[in-house]
Structure 1
């Protein structure tokens, strides 16, 4: 829904999430660098933002918090304390490659074509375009430093949106 990068999502902490205010702050990411998983700043200042959470995200994050509490109880002393939103069943950070495998399994289970997390980010941009969201707003949601990245690489306009735009143009010119 928010077009988060994989590292941004895996690097979210509960301190970044304000369910009462309905906001999410993005300023860190989880990255594999060599043999280490590092929790560090996002790649650019333009990547940092506080975004409003759609209701569906607030509900999902609230459920995630409850599921994590159940996992912590089940893990008992094996639980590794962490403030990360997305962890393994033992509280450890999620390995980015393991997330890719989980993502693929979820696509298969849903019966949809496998896409990458980046494809989901592109889908976010394209859906925003179909909703006639101003391109600068889409750029802010995706946190791109350059407008061209949002419009030329991430946004694909659907055939339906194209037909609708041309129909509206035709109606305007017929007056």
Structure 2
């Protein structure tokens, strides 16, 4: 039910190379939903079949996402493919990286603890997460008041909104 971030693809001296993540917080375990696990498992199987059909070795270090030649995917090609998917789905153009922000905003809006979101994103400090996603906080404050009402019973209070100062 998780993936482990152990390496990143970076351009170095004009070549794509797999390297260790930049920071300790970048190296992390990310719990992912079941539907993602299922999709990744199916994709890994088809990628391994493709790699084998190219006559390349398949082992535990084989990447889950590769080019048609079985090599790491050029980041620009990932962006182009993403833009093509958006166009096909008749969605407005957004950057692939924007999905990271959407995910974090949705998780916070659904009441996931900010610390959990921080760890998922690999932020080094909770302040980074909270400063970046402060626009979600007003909705969280409204939700916290509703939860307190549910916890203590709104019907048990004698105060009305106009009496609270």
TM-score by length of 1: 0.73
Higher relative contact order (CA 8 A, sep 6+): 1
Moved more, 48-57 or 36-45: 48-57
Q: Name the residue aligned to 1:47.
A: 26
Deviation at 1:100, TM superposition (A): 0.9
- Cα deviation, 1:90-123, whole Å, max 9, x if unaligned, reads 2011011111111111111222222212211101
Q: Distance in 2 between matches of 1:158 and 1:106?
A: 31
For the Cα contact (< 8 Å) 1:125–1:155, is it kept in 2? no
2:111–2:140 CA contact under 8 A, matched in 1: no
CA distance in 2, matches of 1:155, 1:85: 34
> Which consecutive residues of structure 2, in runs of 5 or more, have no partner in the other structure?
158-165
Shift of 1:140: 0.8
Looking at structure 1, the residues matched to 13 and 20 of structure 2 have their Cα atoms a distance apart, in angstroms, of 17
Task: Tell me the CA shift for residue 155 of structure 1.
Answer: 5.8
Q: Deviations over 1:110-163 (max 9, x none)?
A: 22222212211101110111110111111011110021221222464298x469
**Aligned-partner Cα distance in 1 for 2:104–2:96:** 13
- Which of 1 and 2 has greater Rg? 2
Question: Partner residue of 1:168?
Answer: 146
The gaps in structure 1 that reach 5 residues or longer are 1-21
SS at match of 1:42: coil
1:110 paired residue among 76, 89, 93: 89
Change (3 A) 1:36 1:155: farther
Secondary structure at 1:46's aligned position in 2? coil
**2:45 pairs with 1:27:** no
Instruction: For residue 85 of structure 1, report the CA deviation from its aligned partner.
Output: 1.0
